[in-house]
Amino acid sequence: MPGRTDDEVIIGALSQEARQIAVEDAGPGPTPAVWHRLQERRARRSRPPWRGLLLAGAGMAAAVTLLVVARGVQRARPVTYVVEDAAEQDGYIRGTSNGASQVRFSDGTHVDLAQGARVSVLSRGPRGARLRVEEGEARFDVVHLPRAAWSVEAGPYVVYVTGTAFDVSWSGASEVIEVRMRSGSVQVGGPLLPERVTLRAGQRLTAKLASGEMLIGDARVGGGDGRAAAGDSAPVRTAPNGDEAGEPAPAADTVAPSSPSAPEVAAVAPAPSPAPLPPSPLAAPAPAQEQPSASPSPPAPEPAPAIAAPSPAVRQPSISHRPAPRVVQVAFAPRTWSAITSGDAARVVEQAEAHGLDKTLLEVDSTALSALADAARYSGRPEIAVRALTASRQRFPKTPFAHAAAFFLGRLADDRGAVAEGLTWYRRYLGETPDGPYAAEALGRKMLAVERISGREASSSVAREYVTRFPNGTYMLQAHAILATPAP
């Protein structure tokens, strides 16, 4: 190789191999359980790295500690609560039929549960608690105290509270959250929100996961789908950073879906015919997708969606384009999220299998399906993950879940050596959501897949695109390596 010494050639070749092995060993990456353990480690980490300084200041610290401990004993007690006129069962607090169910906390905060609503207290601290609306509606009156820290989870959403009054309702079946503000303000974070959104008194947020709609408006306006009637109060425009611009919202804003790439969705090959859910794509792979070929094949058509997704320009209730099966609440839905984040992914898979995997794949909602796929991946059950992801794409086409499923199907195929199939899925994902959350990863993996199948020269255009779009991306080194090597 001209211009390079023998030493450089040797080291270059071995270093390249080392990078390759690192990529092969990478797998699906750290699981949420690692994050959970990191949090635990941080919480119990009592020995700071500056031990020497600590020892030197120990005398002074001891005196201060005495004072702090004396005051801390009072402050560090977590809030306590009592349940009134509600049933407690399996960690849930369930609103009873008389409508007077209430959870009262020691700081004066109280939560009123609607009939049939289920709430759980996930954790308690000195300044607040983490609550979860598992199902139904609950009214929160959080006492505003200095440094109060309350949060309310509902589905994948979190409402951050310091002191205010608001109502939260969550339906696992239709995957709809509604937050109605009565006073004060809260912040809401979760899917479809680039950042937390601040809600103030009188506002209402409605998020429909299945259709990807996120609506913020006047809480006084009625209507199940959040549609405003003529003569309603002035609309509130809320920017993603939570600042209110105070401008009237344009009429067209009321009906846009959340997918930023709706036109590209149409480019996906049309489905030939409706098809039932496959028993297992791993068990019976399609030969054209499993066998790496000399040149990457174009994306193969997918099984047809059961019911067409709504047009980008027309609002449709999210529930209308799903097969409306019986939704399994017992095994899945709300609890699944906490099970996964607490590192108990295996339990989620067990629940699905106990219920019957085929049945589960047909019955659960898109959130639970996505959670099942995650759980299967995290617990080393790729065959179940593939089935869940495939079901997600078939049952909830053109939703964020379906788009993400394309990426994960590619990654799973990649991991089991089906490079061509992986490439097909990456292309499909990038076609559906060019700026989606996994775009960088998908493009990087696409680049490597093209290199493997068709050689370095063929992958150079993808490498160039990667370097341009993601100059600090994970695959930057490989992209530069591809671009730096002259074509043979």
Partner 1 sequence: MAPAAFRVLQGQARDAADSDVALVAALRRGEPQAELAAWNRFATGVDQTLRRLLGPGPDREDLLQEVFIRFFRRIGTLREPAAVRGFLTGICVHVVRAEITRRQRRRWLSLTPTGDMPEPAPIFPDLEGREAVTRYYRMIDKLGGKDRSFFVARTIEGMTLDEVAAAHDVSVSTAQRRINRASKRVAALVKRDPMLSHFARAGAMEPV
CA distance 130 to 167: 15
Nearest CB to partner 1, comparing residues 100 and 239: 239
Please check whether residue 114 is in contact with residue 99, taking contact to mean a CB–CB distance below 8 angstroms.
yes
Angle at alpha carbon of residue 345, lines to 343 and 351, rounded to 5°:
140
Angle at alpha carbon of residue 378, lines to 375 and 381, rounded to 5°:
80
Least separation in angstroms between CB 213 and partner 1? 6
Q: CA 251 → CA 247, 256, 311, distances in Å?
A: 12, 10, 17
Least separation in angstroms between CB 13 and partner 1? 4
Compute how many residues bind partner 1; rule: CB under 8 A: 96
Among 3, 7, 97, 314, the residue binding partner 1 under the rule CB under 8 A is: 7
Please check whether residue 181 is in contact with residue 191, taking contact to mean a CB–CB distance below 8 angstroms.
no
Least separation in angstroms between CB 76 and partner 1? 19
CA distance 160 to 151: 5
The answer to whether 260 contacts partner 1 (rule: CB under 8 A) is yes
Which residue's entry shows tokens 């009054």?
165
Tell me the per-residue interface mask from 427 to 456 with partner 1, x by CB under 8 A, - otherwise: ------x-xxx-xxx-------------xx
| Ranges within 158-217 binding partner 1 (CB under 8 A) | 158, 160, 189, 191-197, 212-217
DSSP 274: B
Please check whether residue 204 is in contact with residue 182, taking contact to mean a CB–CB distance below 8 angstroms.
no
CA distance 15 to 2: 19
Nearest CB to partner 1, comparing residues 167 and 213: 213
Among 248, 272, 276, 301, the residue binding partner 1 under the rule CB under 8 A is: 248
Only segment of 115-123, 248-256, 280-288, 375-383 that touches partner 1 (CB under 8 A): 248-256
Least separation in angstroms between CB 206 and partner 1? 8
Among 124, 182, 200, 237, the residue binding partner 1 under the rule CB under 8 A is: 237
Angle at alpha carbon of residue 252, lines to 246 and 256, rounded to 5°:
105
The answer to whether 253 contacts partner 1 (rule: CB under 8 A) is yes
CA distance 351 to 211: 27
Nearest CB to partner 1, comparing residues 342 and 356: 342
Q: In sequence order, which residues have a C-beta less than 8 Å from that of residue 115 and are 6 or more positions away? A: 95, 96, 97, 98, 99, 101, 136
DSSP 360-398: HHHHS-HHHHHHHHHHHHHTT-HHHHHHHHHHHHHHSTT
CA distance 121 to 90: 12
Nearest CB to partner 1, comparing residues 217 and 310: 217
Among 114, 228, 271, 483, the residue binding partner 1 under the rule CB under 8 A is: 228
Point out which residues pair with 132 in neighbouring strands. Answer: 120, 153
Nearest CB to partner 1, comparing residues 15 and 183: 15
Least separation in angstroms between CB 482 and partner 1? 9
Least separation in angstroms between CB 276 and partner 1? 31
Among 96, 115, 174, 254, the residue binding partner 1 under the rule CB under 8 A is: 254
| Ranges within 10-69 binding partner 1 (CB under 8 A) | 10-26, 29-30, 34-35, 37-38, 41-42, 45
Least separation in angstroms between CB 28 and partner 1? 8
Nearest CB to partner 1, comparing residues 217 and 382: 217
Nearest CB to partner 1, comparing residues 390 and 433: 433
Query: What are the tokens at 488?
Result: 């043979």
The answer to whether 400 contacts partner 1 (rule: CB under 8 A) is yes
Among 2, 3, 263, 488, the residue binding partner 1 under the rule CB under 8 A is: 488
**Parallel, antiparallel, or unpaired for β 110-113 and 102-105?**
antiparallel
Least separation in angstroms between CB 477 and partner 1? 4
The answer to whether 361 contacts partner 1 (rule: CB under 8 A) is no
Least separation in angstroms between CB 270 and partner 1? 25
Least separation in angstroms between CB 151 and partner 1? 9
Q: CA 432 → CA 84, 87, 268, 318, 398, distances in Å?
A: 50, 46, 7, 19, 8
Nearest CB to partner 1, comparing residues 66 and 252: 252
The answer to whether 232 contacts partner 1 (rule: CB under 8 A) is yes
Only segment of 63-71, 104-112, 384-392, 466-474 that touches partner 1 (CB under 8 A): 466-474
**Parallel, antiparallel, or unpaired for β 128-141 and 150-154?**
parallel
Query: What are the tokens at 266?
Result: 């149409």
The answer to whether 218 contacts partner 1 (rule: CB under 8 A) is yes
Least separation in angstroms between CB 102 and partner 1? 28
